[in-house]
Amino acid sequence: MSQPIAAPARTRSQTLQQRAERLFPGGVNSPVRAFRAVGGAPPFLESAEGAWLTDVDGNRYIDYFGSWGPMILGHAFPPVVEAIERAARKSASFGASTAAEGDLAERVIACYPAIEKLRFVSSGTEATMSAIRLARAATGRNVIVKFEGCYHGHADGLLVKAGSGVATFGIPGSAGVPDAVAHLTLALPYNDLTSVEAAFAAHKGEIAAIILEPVVGNAGCIPPAEGYLEGLRTITRREGALLIADEVMTGFRLALGGAVERYKMEPDLITLGKIVGGGLPVGAFGGKRELMDLLAPLGPVYQAGTLSGNPLAMAAGIATVAHLQEHAGEIYPQLEATAKAIAEGVAAEAAKTGVALTTNHIGSMWTWFFTSNPVTNYDEAAKSDTAAFGRFHRAMLDQGIWLPPSQFEAAFLGAAHGEAEVRATIAAARAAFQSL
């Protein structure tokens, strides 16, 4: 008989949560942080270093969400911290052009040959919203195709079967989104080319673009089926629509050139975020010169951002991307091997205790779905036992393992995770499954 897992003291976190609930809706500034999907109260974090988080009560946790993706080199990575400090001494913001914008852009373009020009923005939501506006202007069409469970930010037209926090709370879209806007978005099953062909046949000459996460991360980690991405490229070229690869999550994570490199994609536009800013708020979108030159001040498509290209974000991004470029041959195989060891090691512990689990893993991202069935799209992910995931999440957290607080979020690790973290995680999972 296994012993119950005791929760560590989180007295100060509880006090801070009570204050937060008086100040913020739900006590948070982003919904998934509330832990509503997994139960329990969220610890308040105070610091982090490498692969470890420390909360305000002094409890330490191995981090498997990495600020939702960007901490690929670990928290407080010294070259990034030093770069931010140097930039801050000169001013946190100018609202004018700096050389650092071009320095980071050159590094991004070197990793993404499909990008000839880009524009920096302040978030992934801005990047995808702007890419769609550009696609509509370039094609003269209005309808956008997205895929169920893919999240492209909280712009009105993209909150249709959007996965992530929306899936967590079981909301099909969002209040406040006009029907007229939602009707311009077609949400199709991921990994299903037949539905895409049918959509183009039913909306001949109306579809401006397909936007997708090449590897879904916001319904849990769901890789593309063989031939799926190539099929989307064939259909869009034939039909005169654009293909937008949303690499806000996968960019620089699945390879130096992201999913585009890993799957040899040929998108028209690419959106980036998270890692490209080294953990600071930043996004980017880019593509062929003739498309990007439609943006103001050269063209008729207006897009602007007062703090776009913020010097602190540019400094953090340069330090992060430069390190990845210089050490790609070591970092990416290490990330893959460590993630594989954790994903498969935990799955093996589930099998020993008879817990139904399906593991999806690609590169340094993965999800343990609490179901015995394969997960290749959002509908299959939604059949997972979310209550069981919640119990598992709480048991892991109480043992110092911080997983994403939703069955419908991918887990990530960084270069700072090593053999000690692998062993500790598998041992915690063994105890957690026994307690379930």
Catalytic residue among 246, 263, 268, 332: 246
Our answer to whether residue 246 is catalytic in this structure is: yes
Q: What is the distance between the alpha carbons of residues 279 and 320, in angstroms, rounded to a whole number?
A: 9
Q: Where do we find the tokens 């329990």?
A: 40
**Coil/strand/helix, residue 149:** coil
Catalytic residue among 64, 161, 274, 332: 274
DSSP at 50: B
Sign of CA dihedral 160, 165, 167, 173: negative
Cis previous bond, 297, omega within 30: yes
Kindly list the distances between the CA atom of residue 82 and the CA atoms of 53, 85, 89, 274, 400, in Å, as whole numbers in the listed order: 20, 5, 11, 19, 29
**Coil/strand/helix, residue 115:** coil
What is the residue-wise DSSP string for 159-211? Answer: -SS--HHHHHTT-SS-TT--HHHHTTEEEE-TT-HHHHHHHHHHTTTTEEEEE
* Beta-sheet strand order (sheet of 45-49): 45-49, 52-55, 60-63, 401-402
Catalytic residue among 64, 151, 263, 378: 151
Q: Name the residues annotated as catalytic.
A: 151, 246, 274
